[in-house]
Structure 1
Amino acid sequence: MYITRDPPDDEELEKLSSESEPAQDNPDSKPATSKKRKQPAECFLTRPEEKEESTVKVKRRRKKKISDILAKSSPKPGVPEDLQKLLNQHFGTKRSVIELEELKLPDSCFLLANDLTHSFSSYLKEICPKWAKLRKNHKEKKSLLVLIICSSALRCLELIKSMTAFKGDCKVMKLFAKHIKVQQMHMLENGVVHLGVGTPGRIKALVEQDGLSLNSLKYLILDWNWRDQKLRRMIDIPEIRKETIDLLEMGIIKLCREDSVKLGLF
């Protein structure tokens, strides 16, 4: 079956002829330009501009030294409130209110504080007027009547030399050198010692090892006001301060609260 189609009209003939004929050049029109592919632009890494170093240096605030503070004000002798404040600062965030109350030292346990006019012998004579009778009646081994705590071995030797007028014929023991600790234990176990002078770390170790008993202790003297070459007191040295507080907590505070031991700040 064949499908017949009507012959194209005039409009369709014109359209077909215009599509088949090549386009004539138009003198007024510009020749078509082919599109050029853009070349990739080169990328260069540029160094950041170096800022000129400022010639003005920032002044750092210099930490104040103890010597600077003392230069502006004369040193004040230690008082019982200073020791109590030290204990509160150390245990304040670690203990409960009830525990802090148990660490409080009563005013009655403190001896007369040194006003920086006493020699060591004169201070000991004033706080312990019945020393001759006390040392005569002392017979217990591994124990002391008077315990003096210093910051260093050299300071211990100085105090031992300066107490000649006070000690009389009593037995004095050095409690500081680690290399003679065996000898210290032997002397305490086999003899009667009246007075001991030492550093808090060594004394603490002897108490922990059961080489030194605090049962007969009557007086504990802290070398509070003395300053070393850097003008530091024993409580200004972190290690000595901590060992002193540990020693006090090991039983001395309890004895002070029971009125068995008296505390002095020299």
Structure 2
Amino acid sequence: MGDTLEEPWWDIPDPSDDEAVEKASDNKTATHQDSDSKPAVKKKRKQPTECFLSQPEEKQETTVKAKRRKKKKISDILQKTASKPGVPADLQNLLSQHFGENRSVIEIEELKLSDSCFLPSNDLTHSFSSYLKEICPKWAKLRRNHKEKKSVVMLVICSSALRSLELIKSMTAFKGDCRVLKLFAKHIKIKEQMNMLEKGVFHIGVGTPGRVKALVEQDGLCLNSTKYMILDWNWRDQKLRRMMDIPEIKKETIDLLEMSIIKLCREGSVKLGLF
């Protein structure tokens, strides 16, 4: 036996264990370093998207406004207007408005009609026959004395052929045995009317202003024997229009008045009535 003492077996470290510990620590450090060396990947935040409320289109707004601002028809206006009987001042104002912009002061003065040119107006209580009897009480004598061709004693001016026929039927109680001539364009040629006026004697002519004006211009109708001119002023059609509410009829009536009637009224030979 020697002098050296041998250590107990349990106190001697196992080199393999140290190597394992070192390797483990080295691996841990390396892993830590690797994880530290890699930069942290930041997630991109989504940019908030702007949200807009849908605005109504301008077209829709304009269409709505267009519907609200719909132009009123004359029938809508007249429906809300109470019916008032026509008076001489209505015709006077109509003539002044029509000629006011295009005529001189002297010319407008020559177209004015005094109250003495007018017959009593219909107050909406008369039938056509009763109205004619009121304004012309000596009709029987006038029709007996009338012998001239191409002329009539009384002219009745209305808006259409159908209205002319209605008035002719409604004057039965007044006209007696006098002859009535239809003076409108529907189904009747102007040459036929001129031939009838030239060959026969007629007392009353009922028709539209356009046809009467054409007959006067072509010398088919003479107004020298005419004593009364009645305007169908108050009657309204299905659209609630009076004859002076229809542009064509209004213009033709004013042209007829200007052509010869106003002059005859101012001279006192013709009287105007508004039925």
Aligned to 1:134: 142
SS in 2 for 1:196: strand
1:251-266 map, 5 Å: 251-266=260-275
Give the whole-Å Cα distance in 1 for the aligned partners of 2:142 and 2:127. Answer: 21
Q: C-alpha distance in 2, partners of 1:199/1:107?
A: 25
Tell me which residue corresponds to 1:163: 171
Structure 2 portions without partners, runs of 5+:
1-54
Partner of 1:108, secondary structure, is helix
Match of 2:76 in 1: 68
1:243 maps to 2:247: no
Identify the match of residue 98 of structure 1 among 100, 106, 131: 106
Is 1:214 the counterpart of 2:223? The answer is: yes
Q: What does residue 209 of structure 2 align with? A: 200
**Distance in 2 (alpha carbons) for counterparts of 1:56 and 1:189:** 65
The answer for unaligned runs of 5 or more in structure 1 is 1-50
Which whole-Å CA distance do the structure 2 matches of 1:52 and 1:68 have between them? 32
Q: Secondary structure at the match of 1:112?
A: coil
For residues 107-145 of structure 1, what are the alpha-carbon distances to aligned partners after superposition, in whole Å with 9 as ceiling and x for unaligned? 101011001110000000000000000000001111110
Give deviations 1:142-189, integer Å, cap 9, x for gaps.
111000001000000000000000000001000002543222111111
More helix by share: 2
TM-score by length of 1: 0.78
Name the CA distance, whole Å, in 1 between partners of 2:254 and 2:243.
11
Provide TM-score, normalisation by structure 2: 0.76
Q: 2:169 aligned with 1:186, yes or no?
A: no
Tell me what 2:12 maps to: none
The sequence identity of aligned pairs, in percent, is 79
Q: Alignment RMSD, CA only?
A: 1.6
* Pairwise CA distance, 1:224: 0.4
Question: How far has the Cα of 1:65 moved from its partner?
Answer: 2.6
Bigger radius of gyration among the two: 2
